């Protein structure tokens, strides 16, 4: 939610002018949180302002931490005692 609200207030810069999907704040925030695969927003847009840029880095790091925790939990539940 925080990413969507923050990304909605400022405009990112397109990687290639006139190409790619239109910017969507919710999809961009989800794309940063999901480290595997992609929704096309992470590679099509970048931030020049320091606030949204650091938020994007924090969302990427959080996505990797959450993915690691999910993988660890699933692998523990599949182990036999």
| pLDDT, tens digit (0-9, with 9 covering 90-100), for 4-44 | 888 888 888 888 887 778 888 998 899 889 888 788 888 88
Q: What pLDDT does residue 81 have?
A: 60
Nearest partner of 47 among 38, 36, 58, 62, judged by Cα: 58
* CA-to-CA dists, residue 36 to 16, 18, 28, 40, 55, angstroms: 23, 26, 14, 12, 19
Sign of the Cα torsion 34, 36, 37, 38 reads: positive
Instruction: Give the span between the Cα atoms of 46 and 28, in whole angstroms.
Output: 10
Q: What pLDDT does residue 80 have?
A: 65
Average pLDDT on 39-64 reads 89
Instruction: Give the span between the Cα atoms of 2 and 75, in whole angstroms.
Output: 30
Q: How confident is the model at residue 77 (pLDDT cuts 50, 70, 90)?
A: confident
- pTM summary value: 0.78
């Amino acid at each position: 939610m925080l990413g969507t609200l923050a990304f909605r207030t400022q405009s990112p810069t397109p990687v290639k002018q006139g190409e790619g999907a239109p910017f969507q704040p919710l999809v961009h925030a989800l794309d940063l949180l999901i480290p595997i695969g992609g929704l096309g927003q992470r590679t099509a847009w970048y931030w020049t302002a320091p606030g949204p840029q650091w938020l994007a880095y924090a969302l990427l790091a959080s996505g990797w931490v959450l993915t690691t925790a999910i993988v660890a939990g699933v692998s523990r539940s599949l182990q036999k005692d």
